[in-house]
Structure 1
Amino acid sequence: MAEKSSIYIFIDDETTPIAALQSPVNFELDTTKLVDGKHCLKIVSRDPSGKEGVRLIPFEVRNGPAIDIEGIREEAVVDGIVPIMINAYGKGDAKNFLIVGSETPQSIPYWIFVLIIIFIAWGIYVEVVSSSVNLF
């Protein structure tokens, strides 16, 4: 029987693997044990001859309450008083979804107003052109 490759799974810069397995393998990563933020999954494979392969998979954990912000963006240049609306809500768990507070009210985008103005202007244009047409 042929020897199998060994797989070592690391999180971030840890020196101790969270799992040491033989390939092929199905693995479930429990992100509830990680703090929210950016992480890196490092998979090291060693074949029977001793050669190693490494694969890095960056990912972001967001298990905590979701935070929505309206009024400022990342890396924004601001001046004066900036009104900011912040909403935070929990997602519940796999069995229960928390509906209360999970929707963030948002202002109407400017392009909606532009579309309304264009539509009204088109309606006025059609009305003026159709009323100026002389019928025999």
Structure 2
Amino acid sequence: MVAWCIERDVEPVLASIAWQPVTEAIAKRHGFTVNGGPRVHVVGTVYDGTVAEHFDEYDKRDRALELAAKRGVSTDQCCAIGDSRSDIPLFDALPASLALNAGLAARAAATAAVDTDDLRDVLPWLAAWERTLP
């Protein structure tokens, strides 16, 4: 999926409410731009068990929209893929959204849904989304 995006000059962004070290590791491993997640407070080189920055579903949406604006990309040229209720505000803010192996609330908010064990099954939806771009 990431390769498909890169080949088409589409920036794959990981916006997650998982802790930033987790989000950063997944993004780095798979080639996503990291954008979000709550931060754990660090003292020296040790996590001290407190939260340095909270991050919820509205922050996920807002940070994604801020990144698009910073890149000069209209929301009409953005889509979202997600699996949970934390994706609903972002789904509501964009013209195209895919609920991937998602719960009922995310499915209801998304413009489409796919259930699969193979992420390549998302590619037909992405290709259809790409054809709608101006």
Tell me which protein shows more helix as a share of its residues: 2
Larger radius of gyration: 1
What TM-score do the two structures reach when normalised by structure 2?
A: 0.25
Tell me which protein shows more strand as a share of its residues: 1
